[in-house]
Chains A and B, each alone.
Chain A
């Protein structure tokens, strides 16, 4: 994506650029870097001090269906919005829960489990 390439050399804008998340069936989703950083796994993937392919290309593949990846992105945006600075609004979790179709819940659980990321840091 040309946009990504352009952003790469602009170090100052790095914090606020977009990253791409792709699903296993070929769909791609563009989210803000700060939103993607909600997921520990994605954050590590995109970490600037790694030389992962994901970090260089600003693209994270998630090997789940688009329906699942979409919900993941939705959740991350949702959480980024409510956990962002200054948002004192009450969180209506049900509002989000209702948006998850039950049939993807299990897949979503596995994806979420993977994306939450490891707590112990590796050197």
Chain B
């Protein structure tokens, strides 16, 4: 508008030129919008030179139709118009608006009665427009009618006007509003009563608040008050040499304290002494990260009578420490280590040779435990009953032979090997240990196939109650389903019924097995089929049918294609306490409702990635831990 005011004009684009020549400017566009429903009034507006128009309109008329050369002549009207046309730019500099408005009103002071009726009409149009629009647009339309287009002058502020509703006389102010429905203007009381706020300011576009100011990020906590447990641990460590001051600790409390210390990673070489005693038989540390090799050696020498030792996160357990264990704790029969990755093969061999009395040997994550160690284990540890070699990087098919030369095992856990044992190796292992095995974990062995299940596990296992087959990628849906479907029946009877069910069985063996009384393997208590993408509805349904009555722990994570019908069978497992059904895509709230209602002992459920489970409508008021429901997930 300042551009027009001082007659300085820069180059304009062809489009601007065209629009100006056609008389299209923001005012006409806004009016078009405002009077959309009344085409006749719009046409009237466009042919502004009507006789009914006020003088000030007449002044504007040539402006509309003429090219820009005439603009300087009508600069005053143009200026006013410019202000109106810029209703969008009004909002940009709100405070600067005031003076032009007053000026404008001054020029509009000579409004005639006809103009007033016109204004009323416009007011009506605007009212309608206002009604249909959102708040933000109110300002614009108010501007349009209160300051007027070319034909809607409001009476000047300070003049008297009769209220259209209560018919009292009132003084026009800049807040005076037109009546809706028209004609006329409303006094302040009526305007308020009509529900519109006369003082409502045109919406100022929200100023962009500096984002950095707005955010109130605490990137660090100024001071962290230590937890009470931490204070206690510190205190215990301080008085550790004065153990009597801490009072007598029972064995149960000892374990609880060990847990509490571990939770805070608070077990240190200093306070570990709390747990040491010459008469100690069992010792379990849940987090031995902070125990240095020296501290672990001290542990061995201060607890010479230990029979059971269990160390989690014993990352600093080195070869010399292991040898110190073998010399200082000759009675040791059970050793469980999580993460003894610093121990070298020679140390394992020497340790195993010395510890021939070991009954339980469980290690997880030892990349240096090789075939020779395994051979030594088989040769020297003749009492071993529970063996767990999890996540052993060097485990391959060669391990099968030494495993077979072990005494009959109750627990065998060879999960997540580096290479894995082949099918024939597994056949031999199960044949040797199957009849005594209670717990079997063959996770991530590609060599553990349908054939092994059907021919070895089915035939030999008699007391197995825990079976974990995570990520055994060779297993197929049909094979596993067939295994579970037939497990409870002796092989021979099936042979009598027909060969179609079990074609691979050897007839000679059938006759042998049929001679002895058949005792089927009892239903499983713990079953894991996690991350076997090949497995699906058939395997799941068969497994549930087989083990439903005793199953307490079930992991079917990742059986993504299992149907909701098969998953609905879960409700048959009434003893279930733990269920991981993550990534079973077909699982939904209806199935879960049934399961939760029927399986009354269930206390932990994991449903990560089950996008149809939203946790609604289960209708159970029991304390169940449910993990993994997406708050806004699913459908």
Binding site for B on A (CB under 8 A): 72, 75, 79, 82-83, 90-91, 93, 96-97, 100, 102-103, 105-113, 115-116, 120, 122-123
Contact = CB atoms under 8 A, between A and B. Distances in A.
B225 A113 contact: no
B259 interface: yes
A113 B229 contact: yes
Contacts of B626: 122-123
Given A110-B260, A122-B625, A123-B629, A102 B229 contact: no
B407 interface: no
Given A103-B246, A113-B260, A93 B239 contact: no
B160 to A, nearest CB: 51
B259 A113 contact: yes
B627 interface: yes
7 contacts: A90-B223, A100-B231, A102-B236, A106-B232, A106-B236, A106-B253, A111-B228
Contacts of A116: 227-229
A96 to B, nearest CB: 7
Contact of A100 (B235, B257, B259, B624): B235
A93 B223 CA distance: 11
A112 B231 CA distance: 10
B503 interface: no
Contacts, number: 83
A106 B247 contact: yes
Interface of B: 223, 225-229, 231-236, 238-239, 242, 245-247, 249, 253, 256-257, 259-261, 263, 615, 623-627, 629
Given A102-B239, A106-B246, A93 B615 contact: no
Chain B at the A interface: mostly helix, strand, loop or mixed? helix
Contact of A113 (B235, B236, B263): B263
Contacts of B260: 109-110, 112-113
A89 B231 CA distance: 19
B256 A110 contact: yes
Contacts of A72: 228
A108 B263 CA distance: 15
A97 B234 contact: yes
Given A106-B253, A113-B259, 20 more contacts: A75-B228, A91-B225, A100-B232, A102-B238, A103-B245, A105-B232, A106-B236, A109-B229, A109-B232, A109-B233, A109-B236, A110-B253, A110-B260, A111-B228, A112-B227, A112-B231, A113-B229, A113-B263, A123-B625, A123-B629
Contact of B236 (A93, A96, A105): A105
A106 B627 CA distance: 33
Contacts of A111: 228
Contacts of B625: 120, 122-123
Contacts of B624: 122-123
Interface-central residue, B229, B257, B623, by most chain A CB under 10 Å: B229
B228 A110 contact: no
Nearest to B264: A113
Given A109-B236, A110-B253, A123-B626, A103 B247 contact: yes
Contacts of B257: 106, 109-110
Contacts of A112: 227-229, 231-232, 260
A102 B235 contact: yes
Nearest to A78: B225
Contacts of A120: 625, 627
A5 B157 CA distance: 62
Across the A-B interface, give the 4 residue pairs with the lowest CB-CB distance, nearest first: A109-B232, A112-B228, A113-B260, A112-B229
Contacts of A96: 231
Nearest to B244: A103
A102 B627 contact: no
B247 A79 contact: no
A91 B36 CA distance: 70
Contacts of A79: 225
A122 B246 CA distance: 35
B392 to A, nearest CB: 31
B231 A115 contact: no
Interface-central residue, A111, A115, A120, A122, by most chain B CB under 10 Å: A122
A106 B239 CA distance: 11
A83 B227 CA distance: 12
Interface-central residue, A75, A82, A102, A108, by most chain B CB under 10 Å: A102
Nearest to B615: A123
B229 A93 contact: no
Contacts of A93: 225-226, 231
A106 B624 CA distance: 31
A31 to B, nearest CB: 14
B253 A122 contact: no
Given A79-B225, A106-B257, A123-B626, A97 B235 contact: yes
Nearest to A111: B228
B335 to A, nearest CB: 27
A39 B256 CA distance: 19
Nearest to B249: A106
A12 to B, nearest CB: 27
A105 B236 CA distance: 6
A102 B232 CA distance: 9
A50 to B, nearest CB: 10
B236 A75 contact: no
Nearest to B229: A112
A115 B623 CA distance: 19
Contacts of B228: 72, 75, 108, 111-112, 115-116
B263 to A, nearest CB: 7
Contacts of B245: 102-103
Nearest to A115: B228
A96 B234 CA distance: 12
Nearest to B256: A110
A51 B229 CA distance: 29
